[in-house]
Amino acid sequence: MAKSVSITHGGDNLLSSVAALNGRVFDTDPVIAYMLLDLSREERLAYLPTYWSTLIKSALLNDAIITEADGWKAASVLVPPGRYLDNAWTLLCAGFLGVLWRIGYPGCKRLWAEFSGMTDNAKRIGLRGHKRYYYVFSIGTEREHRGKGLAKAIMQDHQRTAQAANLPIWLEATTPGSRALYLSMGFEEVEEIVLGKGKVAADATLQPGGPGIPLWAMVWWPKSTADSSS
């Protein structure tokens, strides 16, 4: 099925399309909900397009590649090797201060101390010292088009790109379903990370003593044995 999927790539010109799509497809994503924990559900849903627009703008300032499938039924944001989303300058230029203002000090702690701290640690283990890798910042398929092989086709496109550069791909799966998809495509699980342990349930609703939100740090390695990438 994946063979018949049409894939196109772009950059800045696709910002609003991918931000709008992400706002819809990540509406119940527990990790995003946890980052925006202090907002009510309605406030969060209304804020999601702005949140995504800011983060993707920052990714684009880091030369991110936007990939869409079958006329915007699915799309991804891929950050190329050597570029990082936590680049303070590009975050600033993308308007991230507005996001910080919206999520407040507790949100900043969740984003940096928890999410970035834990995923950076997983990267140190999982990337075995490799500094250059592709990062799948987001991938999502519109609800009515799920299960048709669109995310798989996009990910296969990323695997071809990474294979050609002989570099690994890094991502964090935020749902058991996406974890299953990536495992089926040859990704290895590096570590299960738990956010908000003791504070929230798995769906990010407040729950004192709750189990927290699991996410899975994962890496895919190119097939080549040549290794000039670290």
**Angle, nearest 10°, between helix axes 150-165 and 176-184?**
50
Q: Is residue 23 at the binding interface for ligand COA, with CB under 6 A as the rule?
A: no
Member of 65, 66, 74, 217 binding ligand COA (CB under 6 A): 74
* 178 scored as a contact of ligand COA (CB under 6 A): yes
Residue 185 identity (one-letter amino acid) = M
Q: Which of 49, 132, 146, 165 binds ligand COA (CB under 6 A)?
A: 146
Q: Does 33 bind ligand COA (CB under 6 A)?
A: no
How many angstroms separate the Cα of 100 from the Cα of each of 65, 166, 228? Answer: 25, 36, 38
Count of residues engaged in binding ligand COA, rule: CB under 6 A = 22
Rounded distance between C-alpha atoms, residue 106 and residue 70, angstroms:
39
The residue among 100, 85, 112, 107 whose CA lies nearest residue 171 is: 85
Nearer to ligand COA, 185 or 201 (CB): 185
Question: Which position's Cβ is nearest ligand COA?
Answer: 177
Whose tokens are 């891929």? That residue is: 78
CA distances in angstroms from 115 to 40, 110, 112, 222, listed in the order given:
21, 6, 6, 26
175 binds ligand COA (CB under 6 A): yes
Near ligand COA by CB under 6 A: residue from 20, 181, 201, 202 = 181
String of contacts with ligand COA for each residue 185-224, x by CB under 6 A: ----------------------------------------
- Give the C-alpha separation, 145 to 7, whole Å: 15
Report 151-170 residues binding ligand COA (CB under 6 A): 151-152
Strands 213-220 and 188-195, how do they pair?
A: antiparallel
Which residues would be at the binding site for ligand COA (CB under 6 A)?
A: 25-26, 29, 74, 139-141, 146-152, 173-175, 177-178, 180-181, 184
